[in-house]
Amino acid sequence: MPETDLPLLSLAEVARLLKRRTVSPVEVTRAILDQIAAFDHRLNAFLTVRGNEALAAARRAERAIRAGRYRGPLHGVPVSVKDLVQTAGIRTTCGSRILAEWVPDTDATLIRRFREAGAILIGKTHLHEFAYGPTNLNPHYGPSRNPWDPDRMTGGSSGGSGGAVATGCSYASIGTDSGGSLRIPAAFCGVVGLKPTYGRISRAGIFPLSWSQDHAGPLTRTVADAAITLQALAGFDPADPGSSRQPVPNFSRGLTAGVKGLRLGVPKEFFWDEVDPEVAGAVRKAVAVLAGLGGSVREVHWPMAAEARALSFLIMGAEAFSVHERWLKERPEDYGPDVRQRLAQGATILAADYLRAQRLRRRFIESLDAVFETCDVLLTPTVPVAAPRLEESNLRWPKETESMTAALTRFTRPFNLTGTPALSVPCGFTAGGLPVGLQIAGRAFDEATVLRVGHAYEHAARFPVRRPQES
């Protein structure tokens, strides 16, 4: 196979070639480095590229595979991680000026697990400063740009990861998600983004934003690739106080079981308020596809979903301020204006308000549990619009104007509060050629069902069917 074709493959496809020795890890890594050289000058998806180190790791993987020491589907596969994840001996900026030269001494747990699986770290991806924003408009490193239209947002805060995967510059990329930061770029860039259950993937060695809402998860080309990546990273870690001891199933085993017999809930309220008609139409069509596959579609009610923004604002604001308090006092000028403003707002939150929000959060979780008594998954738009232009700061609806941050996180925040798994899969394009995302949310620790539904839709609809073009 020509090296130029390798970046067009899914992770699962390139893994099969590597296992059969049809291609070598060195060939694959060179192809990905060439892809980065072709795309990243205009997209700004990477903050650090580790070309020489990646090739050295590829040569080691090649020798191991030839010797019969194949470790599994990530062995010899180039991956990337959001530059919020500690990497020993490699700069970890957190998209900030404050940590611009920080070189950690240790790897995050998920980096160690990637290495144990034989994956090759190709580079560190762009993000919103300290992951505190959904646009990836970064005043220190410039914006990451959407591969479908460079004048539009990737979404954030894992925007570089979304762009890298969409353009074939990485077979998988690990991002974080505290209010939608995996799923928003997945929707805007036309890739798959999985926020697993809180505690499923260790966050040890990941710079925190909101400790009670932070999740780590994969951005990939396909749902099967997300399952493979999750399998390698999931599991208990004593170094993360929020890590779960819940058993880790085989996430790939049930992918092809289909949706026949599953109860697919479509919320009546909130998730359809103030949504671009093209986005709503694409998601409604996706629901119809799943119904045609035998899923039992039913309308469900979750009125408490509308309280997510207020609760998340209080909890995230207080927790983020606690992380940044010293720097905010000593180095306020080193923050971008938007992040500095959000942190300053967090400083005004009273302990009583924070604790009250956490108590209400329990009721919020219970309200979703009640919804899942009537259905197996929820189907919603991931984001109410396709990727906005870089210069847009607000969205105008018929009855109101909404801030960009509030709008982009409106449908994703609820599942950070509950800690339950949520997946974004591509479900079509607007007339202007921009991707649209379908969000599939499930019960705690039931990623298997969420992935199963996403895989069924993906194969029936045959999305993604287009690729961004090099220019």
From the list 80, 181, 210, 244, the catalytic residue is: 181
Euclidean distance between CA atoms 186 and 220, whole angstroms: 9
Is 393 an annotated catalytic residue? no
Given the residues 10, 24, 80, 82, the one annotated as active site: 82
Looking at residue 303, its amino acid is: P
Catalytic position from the list 10, 24, 144, 157: 157
157 is catalytic: yes
**According to the 3-state scheme, what is the secondary structure of 137-196?**
CCCCCCCCEECCEEEEECCCCCHHHHHHHHCCCCCEEEEEECCCCCHHHHHHHCCEEEEC
Q: How far apart are CA 300 and CA 289, in angstroms?
A: 19
How far apart are the C-alpha atoms of 156 and 141, rounded to whole Å?
Answer: 14
Gap between the Cα atoms of 363 and 352, Å rounded: 17
3 DSSP assignment: G
Q: Please report, as a single letter, which amino acid is at residue 269.
A: E
3-state secondary structure at position 251: coil
Q: What are residue 145's DSSP bridge partners?
A: 153
CA distance 106 to 88: 4
> Tokens for 197?
């259950």
Q: Partners of 425 in the beta sheet? A: 438
CB-based burial label for 67 (10 Å; 0-12, 13-18, 19+): exposed
Contacts by 443-447, CB closer than 8 A, 24 or more apart: 443/372, 443/376, 444/197, 444/198, 444/418, 444/419, 444/420, 445/197, 445/200, 445/244, 445/246, 445/421, 446/197, 446/421, 447/194, 447/196, 447/197, 447/200, 447/230, 447/251, 447/421
SS3 463: coil
Residue 340, helix vs strand vs coil? helix
CA gap 383, 137 in Å, rounded: 18
- Euclidean distance between CA atoms 454 and 304, whole angstroms: 25
Place of tokens 């092809």: 256
* DSSP structure class, residue 468: P
DSSP state of 6: G
Residues serving a catalytic function are 82, 157, 181
